[in-house]
Structure 1
Amino acid sequence: MMRLKHKFLNLSLKNKLIIAFSCLNIVPLFTIAGVLSWLYLESNRNMILDVVVENNNQIVKNIDTSLNPLLRLSMSPVQNRDIFRIMGKDYDESAYPLLEREQDFDKVNGLIRNNMHLYTDLIDSVIVYQSKNGIIIGRSNIEYMDHRYFEREFRDEPFVRQILDKQGLYVPIGIHPEKLMSYDHAPVVSIGRAIMDPYTKESLGLIMLNISVEKLKTLWSDIHFTENTRFYLIDEQHNIIYSQHPEEIGQAADSAIGEDFASVIGEGRTTGEHQDMYFVSSISDVSNWRAITIIPKTEMFSYIYLTLKITTISLIVLLALSILIAIFIATSITRPLAVLERKMKLVSQGNLDVSMDIRYGEAGKISKTVDHMLRDIRGLIRRIYEEEKEKRHLEMLALQSQIKPHFIYNTLNVIKWMAKLQGASGIEEALSSFSSVIKFTVKTESDYVTIQEEAEFIRSYTDILSLRYLNKFDVSFDIDPQVREFYTLKFLLQPLVENAVFHGFDGIDYKGKLTISIAREANYVIMIVADNGKGVRDDEREQFESRAEADKINPIGMKNIRKRLELNYGQDYGLTIASREPCGTVATIKIPVLTSIPNESAGERYETDHRR
């Protein structure tokens, strides 16, 4: 035994599948053939009866299986909070009873339409009745209702009384005419349940789910074991729910079947022999309905020989087909897996340009997923490379914009002290501002500074510009003290101030006003540079944003600013410019709240402090 086990385990997947499929087909087929032969030789009569019993049992199981969801659906008015509230509502106490009834009617009908009719096709119609107001608050057929029947007869119907008497237990209702919502009083069977208040035990109303006989028939196949085999479905009141003869539906069973009916209605499932007939009866555990099959004795054995002949031929054909199908399925499974394994070996060796060419089956889905993954990996590698390359280029531009020689800064300090000693205060202030700009520019410890430092740099820078343009403009700062210690990239505001002064105030005949505002909004820091200059026409906007004057301290254009913001903070942050001639220009920068200098490793985005 162990040797056979080892041999089987060492077989290829293809051979294992062929053996497994063959065994799963050959064993059942030979078993069925042997059992049928033994039944034919030993108990032909019992075989047919067993088949009939099984068919009856299956019909009953189908009925029970189909009714069980309806039992759960009948609990919807209790389980649904809105519908349960409607069931206990007294519309006489409402300010607008008709409007409220209409709204509640639509709400309950929505439950019936969406939660019941879409849940199962077996339901023909649904009625939800509210006791407190004596009204129908929901029904599936909104186009027709027999109001006269409802007002005079409905509440006195035996099945309505039976449902209410059960106090919340489900009630299967046998064959009866649907008079409330049917023009022709079509015969139906129903599942009903009283809706009870679980706290007060008060009856709030009831729900009825009706099933037409035609829909109920779809739960089984109308099998004729012999030419004159008869099948009946009998309700709990011994009335016929279904018969092959439509005129018998609704009649008492003993009038259609005869006096022998009384002998086959015992408890549980029974098989009986009466005169020239075999009776097979099966009872439903859910509804207490009975499935009864009646077979004439004279016709019972005529099918035995035909069945055996057809079975033998079918077994041979199925056996041959099963072996062919086993080979085909095994091959179709193992071949794509072998190809996939070979391709994945190439990927593991570092070849990311491998293309998976499997397009069908589960292996095809895996192949498409791997193709997509490899494509994303290749794209990610290219994107990281390009981003790092561009970021380094922008950093180089930023570094090139700095005036690095420290002796310039030292020389300016000497000249400043000479001007102070000689009493030239204007020259001293100009040199002091210019020294501050140079000192900020040559600072290379990090690309990040505090907003306080950036603001002081801009203040010194605008002082120099004001001297250069002979006080042609005024500058005002509005900086929220809360943001002064937050960090930002260097040189974000300077290009905006440059463009405001050089472009916005160029050629104006009034005194310019430049406003710099910095404040926190939620988890963002908003920087605004606004001027009252001449603004920008739409056809000048592209030139304006890429403009770089030769005499600027920092020639980084606004496109460069946008790219730095995107690379360092992501696409959720950036620069926006609103300008209209002659109303001035407003430039807005949106950055995250940074309470410390972030990690500046390649490709890494900065995290904001969301807890502040």
Structure 2
Amino acid sequence: MKLSSFFQTVRFRTILLSSLITILVTIGQMIYVSNNTFFFSRKETEQTFMRDHNHVIKNIDNYISSLKTLATKPSNEIGIMNILRTNPAELTEQDKNSNYYYIQMFLFRELMLTQENCESIFLYSENTAQYYGISNTYIIRDNDRYYDFSMVTKDLTNISYDKPIFISGIRKSGMKIKPLSNHTITYMQGIFENQKRLGAIIINLDSEIFYQLTTDSKIEPYDVFYLIDQNNNVICSNDSSKIGLPLPIELSKVTAHSFINEDKLVVASELSELTEWRLVTISETNHIFGYEQSIKNSIIVSGILLIVLEIIAVSFITIGLMKPLTQISKNVSDIISGNLGVRFSPVKGELGELSMMLQTMLDTINNLIQQIYQKEERKRQLEVNALQAQITPHFIYNTLSRIKWMASIQQADSIADALQSFSNILSYCMKSNDETIVLKQELEFIKDYVELMNLKVLNEIEMLYDVDKEAEHSIILKFILQPIVENVFLHAFDGSEYYCTISVKCRIVGQTLVVQIHDNGKGISPEKLKELFNISVKHTSSIALKNIADRIRYHYGTDYGVTIHSELNKGTNVVINIPYIPDQHERG
């Protein structure tokens, strides 16, 4: 066949037309894929960029929040409170010296030793208008000899019963001798009794701690960052020359993230609602989005290779695309209709390869469907595993500490009981990965849990159980009772001096298992009650109850769940409704 004749054949025209269509489609796909890839990758990068900022701010907020716990220690010390209540006119010189020594040793032992980056700590007495202080290097006795109290005295005007905490911006250190650093942050918290201010605790922090908190997080090394106080002054930065100076106006106006300098720089800002501080970072655009050029090059090379392979494939397929095509078309139609069980008959040639490719693709789809199903089952199993870990290391630590304390003052009996209960709890948590458990075993777990929790309270709480014999052998979800009982211990009897009880009542009503947990505690206000199932409220009680309700709805449907009835000073009643499922092993 002459070459000119070949060009006139249907075969050549079919190959040419198919190749042109394939090329155009591939180019269109390349443009679509590249545009979407750049859009979504850039969006994800920007979100990651902002999440890193949020992570840094959270670290700083957590550190500031930890100071609140530290600053409450003087309020819990009887000796300190007695000194703050004392009329200065009634004190002898020896009493004053004794008070100085007592307070300074308390500040050193309980506060200074726990804060590595603390420059100085002062206790202010309202009655004497006197500061009792200690620094990281020496004791501060005279008011003005070692420290300039003018700024601190001014800060005291910001402390009231309604606003007990004041956090300053960055300022020059008030230490006159051997300051820990040039700049400090002052944390001040009032000490009140019957809404009357008795004094205040003042903690002066080295600003270097905030540099550490920032650089220990996810700030990239090529970023320039500024931590800005509420007065728009730089607290810390990897440009140390800017510390203590105002942030430039063009940067201070950034509220989220934006591009400046002809889109060559990305500026991002994150605000702390706790301190009103902001983290501002500046990054070069080519550092953040430098991967885009690599992706573009890869798409172009892949597209060219794909076009070449497609042209070759179209040529071979067109030459032999005859009789087997009808069967392939029919099988594909069956697949589109939802029949994923079809099998492609083996044929020779290119169509045979296509048949095998389609069969492999169909097998892959079936395997992926099976994998998705298995992943969902695994996800449900992980939920149970996560719930089994609800007895936190903090609880384990407190429990063991309590047992150790008991061992030092008693002989052995109560300790043996406590250790047995604790062992039972650990065994229950680790013995099985099943999502469900017999109600009787869950109640035994609750009894052991309550016995340990009673070690931590002064007024022991009594548990009352009223369980139908048939209900004992019901199948329930694991760990749906313990969070409720824990909430009762944490909130219902706070400060109570009366007889405290928790009653658990289990009944079978028709085909429904009804579990009621009632306490005679202080109850829940209507406003608080509305918040318990509100997903926007980040509270331990709300999270626990919503977790239980979601698990019940997930496993049994929307006809089942958790309801709460409560009145102030009259207690709280929590009702759980789930289907009654008898334990077949127990019946057998």
User: Which bin holds the TM-score, normalised by the shorter protein?
Assistant: 0.3 to 0.5
TM (norm. structure 2) is 0.40
Tell me: higher relative CO, structure 1 or 2? Use CA pairs within 8 A at least 6 residues apart.
1
Q: Which has the larger radius of gyration?
A: 1
